[in-house]
C-alpha cells in the first residue's frame, strides 16, 4: 500500500524585511496515484516531499527576519536591527512583542495617532533616544511598573522631544505650579500627555488641543 502524503503545515515566505505566513504550500502535491493514458502512475512520498524541503527558510535568515516589526513596516536590515534594539529597551516592562511594536509604532509615526495629527512623519526609533527618555522618567520617581502603565496610556512619549518638551514641561510643572516629588509622579500617571504639551492657546484655539496646556 502506498503511503499517504500529508503536506507540511504553514510554510514561511518573505519579502523585504517582513515575515509572512501562509497556511497553503506554494505547490500542489499530485495524488498518490493517477491514471495517465490508461496506465497507473505512482508517486513516492520521497518524491512528493523533495520540493517542500527545498523551499524551507534558512535558519540564519529567519533569525534576522524575526526581528522585523509585527506591524506593517518596511525596513532595511540596518533599520530592522535598530527597531530590535528599541524592543530590547522595552523588554524590562514585560510587554509582548506585539505591544512593544505598537508602542514604537505610535511613538514614531508608523501607526496613526490622533495625538500627533498629521504632523508626525514615520521614522525609525533610536535606542539612545528611547533609553534616554526612559532613564529620565525613572529619575522622576517612576518605577518600572509606573512606566509600564504610562507607556500603555501614552506611548507617544517616546517620540516627544527630550529637551523642548519632556524636560521643559517638567520644569514648568515644578517652577510655575510647584508640582514635584510624589504629586508629580501622581500627575504623570494620571495625565502623562502633559509631558508632550508644546502650545498654549490661552483661550484662543489653535486647533492643537491634543498638545495644548489648556487641557492641564
Report the SS3 class of residue 119: coil
Average of per-residue pLDDT values in the chain: 75
Q: Has residue 122 got a pLDDT over 70?
A: yes
Residue 195 and residue 103 share a domain: yes
pLDDT digits (tens, 9 = 90+) for 14-65: 334 443 333 344 434 444 333 334 443 443 444 434 444 444 434 333 344 4
Within-domain flag for 140: yes
Q: 56 with 77, same domain?
A: no
For residue 146, give the H/E element and its range: helix 144-153
- What per-residue confidence (pLDDT) applies to 209? 64
At 31, is the secondary structure helix, strand, or coil?
coil
CA dihedral 34, 39, 42, 48 (to 10 degrees): -60
Do residues 112 and 208 share a domain?
Answer: yes
Residue 82 scores a pLDDT above 90: yes
CA distance linking residue 36 with residue 74, whole number of Å? 47
Average confidence (pLDDT) over 90-118? 93
> Three-state SS for 115?
coil
CB of 90 closer than 8 Å to CB of 171:
no
The residue segments making up the domain with residue 32 are: 11-64
103 C-beta neighbours (distance < 10 Å), count: 26
Residues 81 and 119 in one domain: yes
Determine contact, residues 213/200, Cβ cutoff 8 Å: yes
Amino acid at each position: 500500500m502506498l503511503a499517504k502524503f500529508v503536506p507540511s503545515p504553514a510554510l514561511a515566505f518573505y519579502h523585504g524585511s517582513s515575515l509572512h505566513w501562509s497556511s497553503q504550500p506554494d505547490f500542489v502535491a499530485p495524488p498518490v496515484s493517477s491514471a495517465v493514458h490508461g496506465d497507473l502512475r505512482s508517486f513516492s512520498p520521497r518524491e512528493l516531499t523533495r520540493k517542500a524541503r527545498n523551499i524551507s527558510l534558512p535558519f540564519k535568515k529567519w533569525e534576522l527576519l524575526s526581528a522585523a516589526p509585527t506591524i506593517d513596516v518596511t525596513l532595511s536590515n540596518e533599520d530592522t536591527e535598530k527597531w530590535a534594539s528599541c524592543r530590547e529597551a522595552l523588554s524590562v516592562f514585560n510587554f509582548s512583542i506585539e505591544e512593544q511594536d505598537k508602542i514604537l509604532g505610535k511613538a514614531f509615526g508608523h501607526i496613526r495617532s490622533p495625538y500627533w495629527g498629521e504632523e508626525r512623519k514615520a521614522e525609525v526609533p533610536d535606542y539612545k533616544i528611547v533609553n534616554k527618555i526612559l532613564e529620565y522618567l525613572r529619575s522622576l520617581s517612576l518605577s518600572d511598573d509606573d512606566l509600564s502603565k504610562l507607556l500603555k496610556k501614552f506611548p507617544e512619549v517616546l517620540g516627544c522631544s527630550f529637551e523642548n518638551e519632556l524636560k521643559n514641561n517638567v520644569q514648568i510643572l515644578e517652577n510655575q505650579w510647584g508640582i514635584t516629588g510624589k504629586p508629580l509622579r501622581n500627575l504623570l500617571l494620571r495625565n502623562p500627555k502633559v509631558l508632550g504639551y508644546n502650545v498654549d492657546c490661552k483661550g484662543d484655539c489653535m486647533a492643537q488641543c491634543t498638545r495644548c496646556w489648556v487641557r492641564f
